[in-house]
Homo-oligomer: A and B are copies of this chain.
């Protein structure tokens, strides 16, 4: 059967958790096709009934019931959605009762999700980390660099900026980055700006062929994008990491999520919120 199965993500908050669980599970059925619809902020019986109608209509149209990943705290709304003509996976229903027993405590059923703003002070710290990372992107400023939790170092287009921003947004980590330019790579010393913070340095390296592809997109047919340039810059950068005992990782096959977790682990950093 080639019609993609319809997947509904239904939540009374952002839907991020429902999507997260759902995608992790669907990923294990790599051969199948899915069509996805997300319904966030379903926080009234009226909205719930409207979604149920959409689910039922889809079941009728496709001749097969949809899958629904549901992350709803409110009992009444959960109950309404359960009646939909769908295969419903509701992790609150499944796990909350077990946890109540294990913890010997009653769930408060708070609508305040962990993607909510929660504690304003902690949230502000996270936003401050984003500002910090932006202000210390691409080695633009060494002001307050001593306040950095980590300084990522690597050649141009090795993946520093998105990784820094992810570390800031997801973990509240103050992540600066410093681009290794040819002048730095020719020197046998660490770049002047980051030298005082050797213990905070973490290196990113990349397969030269992948680097070339990325640079070619940016500046087609430039010396910058030549495979020889990429090879020698990458090899010089790695030599520097090894010479100064800077931990480093290869970004070629890693997503920003994976890179961030690797860096947290290697630098023994803890999330700030």
- On A, residues with C-beta under 8 Å from B are 5, 13-17, 20-21, 23-25, 27-32, 40-41, 67, 71, 73, 87, 89, 91-92, 94-96, 98-99, 102-103, 105, 107-110, 112-118, 123-124, 127, 130-131, 134, 137, 159, 161-162, 165-166, 169, 214, 217, 253-258, 260-262, 265
With A41-B261, A115-B258, A161-B134 as known contacts, state yes or no: A108 contacts B14, CB within 8 Å. no
Bound-state CA distance A123–B166 (Å) is: 14
Bound-state CA distance A110–B15 (Å) is: 24
Please tell me if the beta carbons of A24 and B113 are within 8 angstroms of each other in the complex: yes
Please tell me if the beta carbons of A114 and B169 are within 8 angstroms of each other in the complex: no
Instruction: Please name 7 pairs of A and B residues whose Cβ atoms are closer than 8 Å in the assembled complex, sorted by A.
Output: A16-B261, A24-B92, A25-B95, A41-B261, A117-B255, A117-B258, A127-B256
Chain B residues within 8 Å of A124, by CB: 214, 217
Chain B residues within 8 Å of A96, by CB: 25, 28
Please tell me if the beta carbons of B110 and A21 are within 8 angstroms of each other in the complex: no
